[in-house]
């Protein structure tokens, strides 16, 4: 697999380099130089989730890893299903929250962890990341127990929900969690300091595991095929897919699935009040506003970092941007949709409900609609309980971790203190 830097096209890397490096020069994103195309979609869709996913990813990765190796990565990463559920006539929910941290980020995080181990040159790897909640959990669980990879996760002490904290601070082994006396921006600044320290970087093999890593998107391509595979041939012929979007990685993966041959009639980019992309698609002006806090906080992003990949893909495939559906949804409207879905017998949290709402408004006669449910409703328990005036149950993994002892260390917002933790984690 060859990839190029979208900003500086002369920088070309292999899959292994792209996974290890994350970003290219000048903060440029990597994009595949060539995309395979599957002619016989019906027989591909007839396969089971993991063998089909191995085929897709192997075709993308090419001869850098053997088919056998790719299949091992996929089997280790995708240990949970991605079922579709009929919500009403012609409308399905794709449930992406059956992994260990109950959000779709488990797919990308786990595949990235496996890929990084597979392409490692045998040196030390330390994953350092700052989290305001969800990413930390997915990264911690994805790398948990892996040999030769240490993970250090920083979070603002007292500023994430106790439920979130319990999900990633109770693991131990190679997962080190540090509660910083500061806010999320302080944590991010500490991470940045660490990456700017060349000696530290070399000594401990720093890597960030963040969401721009191409391996994450590659994993996410697979569940779009899995959704279509669960529909009849007629249903999937006029398929419209609505994606609740923040950094736009998920939508990029969907469009890549289409580029590989998955027949999708139309995609819809659904956002909350952070509506840079819907406004851009409407007016042609890229005009990000300050980020506002919403009840769908995993989508509170006003400068989506995967957007350049979508523009690049549309350029390469000669797809007009106007073919993308779009819509922005307020908190009041998403609450209405959570209620509406509940009345239809489907429990959904605000991120999924936003995708449902825009889909429902724009779906035409004869089309089949699919909206992505990116998180388990219990992950947003406070919001969902509040909207539905109920008290939803915690699923097994959340309840189990909530009862476990927190293992975090506490540190001041101080780079030397962080360095000590990073070197100590090597032992
Ligand atoms: C990360 C996240 C999103 C946004 O996904 P992007 O790929 O960043 O667009 C949506 N919903 C949930 C629950 C998330 O955690």
- What's the pLDDT tens digit per position in 265-279? 999 999 999 999 999
Proportion of the chain above pLDDT 70, given as a percent: 100
Neighbours of 74 (CB within 10 A): 25
Among protein residues, the one with the nearest Cα to ligand 1's atom 2 is 298
351 lines ligand 1 (CB under 6 A): yes
Among protein residues, the one with the nearest Cα to ligand 1's atom 14 is 298
User: In the predicted model, is pLDDT for residue 408 greater than 90?
Assistant: yes
8 Å CB contact between 208 and 192: no
Q: Give the per-residue pLDDT at 183.
A: 85
CA dihedral 113, 118, 124, 130 (to 10 degrees): -20
* Average per-residue pLDDT for the chain: 94
Neighbours of 1 (CB within 10 A): 21
- What's the pLDDT tens digit per position in 325-356? 999 999 999 999 999 999 999 999 999 999 99
247 lines ligand 1 (CB under 6 A): yes
Which burial class, exposed, middle or buried, applies to 102 when counting CB atoms under 10 A from its CB (0-12, 13-18, 19+)?
A: buried
- What's the pLDDT tens digit per position in 30-49? 999 999 999 999 999 999 99
| Residues whose CB falls within 8 Å of the CB of residue 239, separated by 6 or more in sequence, listed in order | 228, 231, 263, 264, 265, 367, 368, 370
What is the spatial distance between Cα 369 and Cα 89, in angstroms, rounded to a whole number? 9
The rounded Å distance from CA 387 to ligand 1 centre is 21
Q: Give the per-residue pLDDT at 196.
A: 87
Instruction: Pull the structure tokens for residue 365.
Output: 């006669």
In the predicted model, what is the mean pLDDT of residues 215-220?
96
250 lines ligand 1 (CB under 6 A): yes
Phi then psi for 175, rounded to 5 degrees?
-105, 115
In the predicted model, what is the mean pLDDT of residues 187-196?
88
Q: Give the per-residue pLDDT at 124.
A: 84
383 lines ligand 1 (CB under 6 A): no
- What's the pLDDT tens digit per position in 3-26? 999 999 999 999 999 998 888 888
246 lines ligand 1 (CB under 6 A): yes
| Angle at alpha carbon of residue 369, lines to 79 and 351, rounded to 5° | 60
372 lines ligand 1 (CB under 6 A): no
Specify the ligand 1 atom closest to the Cα of 351: 11
- What's the pLDDT tens digit per position in 281-291? 999 999 999 88
108 lines ligand 1 (CB under 6 A): no
- What's the pLDDT tens digit per position in 193-204? 998 898 998 899
- What's the pLDDT tens digit per position in 289-300? 988 989 998 898
- What's the pLDDT tens digit per position in 240-268? 999 999 999 999 999 999 999 999 999 99
In the predicted model, what is the mean pLDDT of residues 228-232?
97
215 lines ligand 1 (CB under 6 A): no
Which region, left, alpha or beta, applies to residue 292 given φ > 0 means left and ψ of -120 to 50 means alpha? beta
In the predicted model, what is the mean pLDDT of residues 62-76?
97
Which region, left, alpha or beta, applies to residue 248 given φ > 0 means left and ψ of -120 to 50 means alpha? left
What is the spatial distance between Cα 45 and Cα 30, in angstroms, rounded to a whole number? 28
In the predicted model, what is the mean pLDDT of residues 363-369?
97
CATH of domain 81-103+217-388: 3.40.50.1100
Range scoring the smallest mean pLDDT among 65-79, 312-326, 387-401: 387-401
Q: Tell me if residue 206 falls in helix, strand or coil.
A: strand
105 lines ligand 1 (CB under 6 A): yes
The rounded Å distance from CA 104 to ligand 1 centre is 8
Instruction: Pull the structure tokens for residue 343.
Output: 């009345």
List % helix, strand, coil for the chain (3-state, nearest 5): 50, 15, 35
Q: Give the per-residue pLDDT at 147.
A: 85
Give me the residue spans of the domains in the chain.
81-103+217-388
Q: Give the per-residue pLDDT at 102.
A: 92
| Residues whose CB falls within 8 Å of the CB of residue 41, separated by 6 or more in sequence, listed in order | 261, 262, 263
End-to-end CA distance of the chain: 35
Q: Give the per-residue pLDDT at 135.
A: 82
In the predicted model, what is the mean pLDDT of residues 213-234?
97
**Per-position DSSP letters for 371-399, written without gaps between them:** EEE-B-GGGGHHHHHHHHTS-PPPPHHHH
348 lines ligand 1 (CB under 6 A): no
What is the spatial distance between Cα 23 and Cα 360, in angstroms, rounded to a whole number? 37
> Among 96, 274, 351, which is best to mutate for testing ligand 1, by the most ligand atoms less than 8 A from CB?
351
Alpha-carbon 257 to chain mean position: 15
The rounded Å distance from CA 246 to ligand 1 centre is 6
CA dihedral 212, 272, 398, 157 (to 10 degrees): 70
106 lines ligand 1 (CB under 6 A): no
Q: Give the per-residue pLDDT at 195.
A: 86
Neighbours of 411 (CB within 10 A): 19
In the predicted model, what is the mean pLDDT of residues 104-122?
92
Specify the ligand 1 atom closest to the Cα of 250: 7
CA dihedral 186, 189, 191, 194 (to 10 degrees): -130
């Amino acid at each position: 697999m060859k990839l190029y830097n979208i900003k500086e096209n002369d920088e070309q890397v292999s899959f292994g380099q792209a996974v290890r490096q994350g970003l290219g020069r000048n903060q440029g994103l990597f994009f595949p130089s060539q995309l395979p195309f599957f002619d016989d979609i019906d027989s591909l869709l007839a396969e089971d989730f993991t063998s089909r996913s191995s085929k897709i990813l192997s075709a993308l990765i090419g001869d850098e890893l053997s088919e056998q190796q790719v299949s091992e990565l996929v089997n280790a990463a995708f240990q949970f299903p991605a079922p579709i559920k009929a919500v009403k006539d012609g409308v399905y929910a794709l449930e992406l929250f059956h992994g260990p941290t109950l959000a779709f980020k488990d797919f990308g995080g786990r595949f990235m962890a496996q890929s990084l181990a597979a392409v490692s040159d045998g040196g030390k790897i330390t994953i350092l990341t700052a989290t305001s909640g969800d990413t930390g959990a997915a990264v911690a669980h994805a790398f948990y127990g892996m040999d030769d990879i240490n993970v250090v996760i920083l979070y603002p002490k007292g500023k994430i929900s106790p439920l979130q904290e319990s999900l990633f601070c109770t693991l131990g082994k190679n997962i080190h969690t540090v509660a910083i006396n500061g806010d999320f921006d302080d944590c991010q600044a500490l991470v940045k300091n660490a990456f700017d320290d060349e000696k530290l970087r070399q000594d401990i093999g720093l890597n960030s595991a963040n969401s721009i890593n191409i391996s994450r998107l590659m994993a996410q391509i697979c569940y779009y095929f899995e959704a279509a595979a669960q529909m009849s041939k007629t249903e999937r012929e006029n398929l419209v897919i609505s994606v609740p979007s923040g950094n736009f990685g998920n939508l990029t993966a969907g469009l890549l699935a289409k580029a590989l041959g998955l027949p999708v009639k139309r995609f819809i980019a659904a956002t909350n009040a952070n509506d840079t992309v819907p406004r851009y698609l409407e007016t042609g002006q890229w005009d990000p506003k300050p980020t506002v806090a919403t009840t769908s906080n995993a989508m509170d992003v006003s400068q989506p970092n995967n957007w350049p990949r979508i523009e690049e893909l549309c350029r390469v495939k000669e797809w007009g941007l106007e073919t993308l559906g779009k819509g922005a949804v307020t908190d009041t409207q998403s609450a209405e949709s959570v209620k509406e879905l509940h009345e239809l017998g489907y429990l959904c949290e605000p991120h999924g409900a936003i995708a449902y709402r825009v889909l429902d408004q724009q779906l035409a006669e004869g089309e089949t609609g699919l909206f992505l449910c990116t998180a388990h409703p219990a992950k947003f328990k406070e919001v969902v309980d509040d909207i539905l005036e109920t008290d939803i149950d915690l699923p097994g993994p959340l309840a189990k971790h909530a009862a476990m002892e927190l293992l975090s260390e506490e540190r001041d917002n101080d780079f030397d203190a962080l360095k000590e933790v990073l070197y100590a984690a090597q032992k």
